[in-house]
Structure 1
Amino acid sequence: MKKYTKILITAAVAAAIGSSVLAAGTTSGLRDIDNYWGKQAVEYFYDNHYVSGANGYFHPDDPITREGIASIINNMLNESPAVPKTSFKDIQGRWSQRAIDSLVDKQIMNGYSDNTFRPTQNITREEFAVIAYNYMSYKGITVQDTAVPYDDENAIAPWARKAVDTLAAAGYMKGANNTFQPKAEITRGEAVNVLYRILTNGKGSSAKQNTLETQVFKDVTDVYGSIKNFAKDGIMYWQGNKLHVGVKTQANRDKLEQALAEDSQIEGGTVIVQRSTYSYNDYKNIMARAEKVYRANEPTGSFVKTDVDYLNEKVLLTVNSISKDTQTALNKEIGGVLRIIIQ
C-alpha cells in the first residue's frame, strides 16, 4: 500500500446489498427511519448487515456506545482470522468481545489505563473522529488533512485535532453553525452516516489488491500471532502492482517469506518481503515526536503535517514555515530519518 498508516491498505469496497424484509415506507424493515435525514446510509448498513435493529427500530437519534461502534466497524471489515483476546476486565463474556478484541488488535480502538474498555460508555464526537480516522488509515484511505477552522476549535482535544481536520476536510464529518461540538455525544445515525461517506467516497486499493492483501494478512497473522505484534516489527506498502512487506527482524522475515512462498493462494512475484529499518509503530512514534517538537517551537496554530515515505524510509514533515531553531531541535530529536518539506 502506498500508506501503511495503521497497518494495511485494503479497498473501501462495499459488499453487495443483501435482500431484506420489506416494511411500509422503507426497503430495510426499519420502522423509525422513513423520515430520517440519513435514511440512505442507515438502510445501506442495515442491508449489508453492518447494523441491526431491535424489534424493527434502529433508534438513529440515540447515542452510540463504544461497543456499538466496535461491532459496526468489525462487521464492515468482515475479516475472519482469529484475533488475540484482550485482557480488559469489563468485556469478558460480553456479546461485543470479539469485535472489541479485533479493533484493538488493529489499533482502530484502544482501552483505558485501568485495564478497562468501558463498552457501554457513549462516544463523543471527537472520540468518534479518532476512531473513524484510524479506520480510514487501516483501510488505506488517505485524504488531505487541511485544518478546518471552527469557532470552538480550542475545545477540540490535541489528540483529536488531526482526525477532526482530516474528516472535516474530506467532507466526511462536519459541524453545524461553524462549530464542531467535540464533547457532544454522537448518535447512532450520525456515526453510520460518517462511515457511509467514508465507504462510498474513500479511495482504496483495487479488488485484486484487496484479495491479495487479505491473503497476506492471514499469513502475517499466522507468523506473528496478531496484527499488533506485526506492527512492532513490520510495514506494508504498495509500489506499482507489488505489495512490499518490510520486516526488521531477520528470523521473522525468514518465517514470513516461507509462509508466503508456501501459500498457494498467492501468485509468485506479487509480494516482496524485504528488510525494513523501521516498523509501523516506529514510524508512528517518530511522526508524533516530530509534530510535538515542531508545535513546541513554532507559533500556536502553525500548519504541520506528517507522512511516511516507506520506499526511502523517511518521515516527511510538511510545514508552511520553520525557524532555524526548530530545525536544529528536530535534527537533534529525530535525526536523519526526518525530511522537512516547506510548502
Structure 2
Amino acid sequence: MNKYKKLMAITAMTAALGTSAFAASTGITDISNYWGKAAIQYFYNQHYISGTNGQFRPNEDITREGAAAIINNMIGEDSKVKTTNFSDVKGRWSERAIASLVDKQIMSGYSNGTFKPEQKITREEFAVIAYNYMTYKGMSTLEGAAPYADEAKISSWARQAVDALAAAGYMKGGNYNMFNPKQYVTRGEAVNVLYRILTGVKETTQSQDGLEAKAFKDIKDVYGSVKAFAADGIMYWQGDKLHIGVKDPKNKQKLADAIAADKDIPAESVYVQKSTYSYDDYKNLMAQAEKIYKATEATNATVSTEPDYLNEKVVLTVSSISKETQNNLNKALGSALRIVIQ
C-alpha cells in the first residue's frame, strides 16, 4: 500500500483510561476472566496503563483523553510539549498527553477550539488514531483488505485507516463480517489493538467462524431452526469470546446447558447471557427509526442504522436532525436509540 497521508481523528472519544498514578503493587484484579487480559497485563507491566484501586474496568468505553494518555505513555514523555490551547483541556490531568499527540499529528481537536477529552471513541475513530500512531512510528502498512459487509457505513475519512488495520490483522470486524464503525471502543479493546500494533500479533477470524458453526449446531438443537432463534436471540463477538444473548429465560438456560455440555466448544469461549432484544427486534427497531426520521426530514438527508448489541441500542447516523424528529424518535424508541450526527 502506498503510504497514506496522516489522517486526523475529527470526531467523537466515558471514563479515562488510567490515571496519573499507577495501581497498587498487587496489580489489576478485575481482568482474570477477560478475553484480552494478556495484552492488558503487558501494558500494565510496561506502565502504559494504570488502574484505580486495582480496577482496570476493561468493558468501559474509552475516552479521547484516555486514548491520548495511553499512546503518549507508549511513545514516552516529550519534555518539549507541555500545554495546549484547547479551552476544555487546560489544567486537566491529560493536558500534556493531549498536547503531545496533537503536536505529533496523531490526534486533533475541533474547529471550535475544543478537544472534548471526555467524549467516547467509535471504532472508526480509533482506527484513525491507531493508524496515525503507526504512521508516526514509521511502521509499514498494507492495503487490500476484503471489504466489510457494512463498508458503506464507514465514514470516508476513516476508510483508509480501517482498511490498513484490517489488512495488517490488527483490528478486525465482528460476526457476519461487520465492522460496526459507529460502536464505541472499550478500554480493553483499545489496549488489545495497540498491543497487536506494538508486538505485530495479528487478530484472526478463522477460529471465530469455526466456533460460530459449533454454537449454531447447539442453537438449532434448542430452537429447531436459526429462524426461530432470530426471534429470541442475538450473537456477536467481543474480542475472542462469542456472546449469545437470549430473551426467554428458559431458552437461555437450555442453550447455556447445551453449550456447556458440548465437548467441541472450549470452556469459557462462549458466553450465554440475557438480552433485551433479538435479531428480529433490532431489525424492526432500525426500520422504525428510519421511518420516523424520513417522515419529517428532508428527502436528501443522509440516514443509516446499525445495531449495537453490546450496549443494546440501535445507532441512527444522520447528516442533520430537527428538534421535532428527535422528540418523535425519543418518544417511540426511548433508551433503545442512540443518534449520531455527522
TM normalised by structure 2 equals 0.51
The separation in 2 between residues aligned to 1:76 and 1:137, in whole angstroms, is: 14
- Match in the other structure for 1:85: 83
For 1:129-278, what aligned pairs fall within 5 Å after superposition?
A: 129-177=127-175, 178-201=177-200
The separation in 2 between residues aligned to 1:89 and 1:96, in whole angstroms, is: 13
Deviations 1:317-340 (A, max 9, x none): xxxxxxxxxxxxxxxxxxxxxxxx
- Match in the other structure for 1:227: none
Q: How much has 1:5 moved relative to structure 2? A: 6.1
Letter in 2 for 1:134: N
The separation in 2 between residues aligned to 1:145 and 1:60, in whole angstroms, is: 30
Q: How much has 1:82 moved relative to structure 2? A: 1.2
The separation in 2 between residues aligned to 1:84 and 1:96, in whole angstroms, is: 10
Q: How much has 1:20 moved relative to structure 2? A: 9.2
TM normalised by structure 1 equals 0.51
Contact 2:23 2:53 in 1 (8 A): no
- Match in the other structure for 1:324: none
Task: Name the CA shift for 1:85/1:137 in 2 (closer, same or farther; >3 Å).
Answer: same
Letter in 2 for 1:183: K
Query: Structure 1 residue 58 and structure 2 residue 56: aligned?
Result: yes
The separation in 1 between residues aligned to 2:138 and 2:152, in whole angstroms, is: 29
Q: How much has 1:3 moved relative to structure 2? A: 6.9
Between 1:192-201 and 1:137-146, the stretch displaced more is: 137-146
The separation in 2 between residues aligned to 1:67 and 1:22, in whole angstroms, is: 25
Match of 2:118 among 114, 117, 120: 120
Match of 1:31 among 25, 29, 32: 29
Letter in 1 for 2:188: G
Between 1:52-61 and 1:139-148, the stretch displaced more is: 139-148
The separation in 2 between residues aligned to 1:120 and 1:81, in whole angstroms, is: 24
The separation in 1 between residues aligned to 2:112 and 2:146, in whole angstroms, is: 34
How many residues get paired?
185
Contact 2:24 2:54 in 1 (8 A): no
- Match in the other structure for 1:96: 94
Contact 1:4 1:140 in 2 (8 A): no
The separation in 2 between residues aligned to 1:128 and 1:162, in whole angstroms, is: 13
The separation in 2 between residues aligned to 1:151 and 1:4, in whole angstroms, is: 23
Q: How much has 1:147 moved relative to structure 2? A: 3.5
Contact 1:20 1:47 in 2 (8 A): no
The separation in 2 between residues aligned to 1:5 and 1:159, in whole angstroms, is: 11
The separation in 2 between residues aligned to 1:121 and 1:5, in whole angstroms, is: 25
Query: Matched residues, percent identical?
Result: 64
The separation in 2 between residues aligned to 1:59 and 1:168, in whole angstroms, is: 26
Deviations 1:71-105 (A, max 9, x none): 00000001333116321100000000000000000
| Helix, strand or coil at the partner of 2:194 | helix
Deviations 1:293-329 (A, max 9, x none): xxxxxxxxxxxxxxxxxxxxxxxxxxxxxxxxxxxxx
